[in-house]
Amino acid sequence: MNQKNANDNKMSPEQVRRGRRMALLLFAVGFGPMILATVMYYTGWLNPTGHSNHGELLQPPVQVAELQLNGADSQPLSDRFGPELEEPEWMLLVVADNCGTACEELLYRARQVNIALGKNANRVNRSAWVGSMSDDLAERWPEEYSSMERVSQASNTSAALPPGIDPAQQPRILVIDPFGNIIMHYGSEHTGKEMLNDLKHLLKLSQIG
């Protein structure tokens, strides 16, 4: 009888894996921000006395779920982030209401910086949340920005935009980490080299994505 109970209580390999994933998720939610802050402090990253970031840092970070966006597959964009995923990625998200000249400059910059990451390029994907665009850009999009997914606002929702982000006034590039945190943003005032240096530093520090 005791042997039978022991066998009944034995967890399957899938249950063990699921338990480990849940433990990792709880650890990341509870201790992730603290660990990140410690790394930032002791390495000097984003610290005025050490490495100086070029992008605009969001303090505290904002969850991408608050943007209420769906991918091209109509699924929530936030589903693509989290420690439970096997291969979470970083994301460069270009946001603009009217994609004019300034917006297209950022589309081009996001593409070129992503390519310039070399062997780390596959750790970062790029997307665009844009409203209207010229017929010329729409015609060129499939050829020039085929790897940049168009995302959209979920039906009957409104986005809680991070402080300092107003796509109607100024296009921006948002940097989203593998946990779904919007941590930094860039505009036309930043150069591609500045953005590339920041991303290289982020990817060097990150053990995820």
- Pull the structure tokens for residue 209: 């994505």
- Split at pLDDT 50, 70, 90, the class of 49 is very low
Amino acid identity at 178: P
CB atoms within 10 A of CB 18: 13
Query: Measuring CA to CA, how many Å separate 25 from each of 22, 31, 164?
Result: 5, 10, 30
Contact criterion met (CB below 8 Å) for 45 and 201: yes
- Comparing 30 with 57, the larger pLDDT belongs to 57
Helix/strand number for the chain, H first, E second: 5, 8
For residue 22, what pLDDT is reported? 62
Closest to 137 in 3D by CA, of 167, 105, 91: 105
Q: pLDDT (tens digit, 9 = 90+) per residue, 153-208?
A: 999 998 899 888 999 999 999 999 998 999 999 999 999 999 999 999 888 877 66
Binning pLDDT at 50, 70 and 90, where does residue 115 land?
A: very high
* CA nearest to 90, candidates 117, 72, 130, 59: 117
Whether pTM > 0.85 for this model: the answer is no
Distance CA 88, CA 16 (A): 21
Of 150, 149, 152, the residue nearest 125 (C-alpha): 149
Structural domains in the chain, sorted by start = 54-205 (3.40.30.10)
Which residues are registered as beta bridge partners of 184? Answer: 57, 175
Coil vs helix vs strand at 149: strand
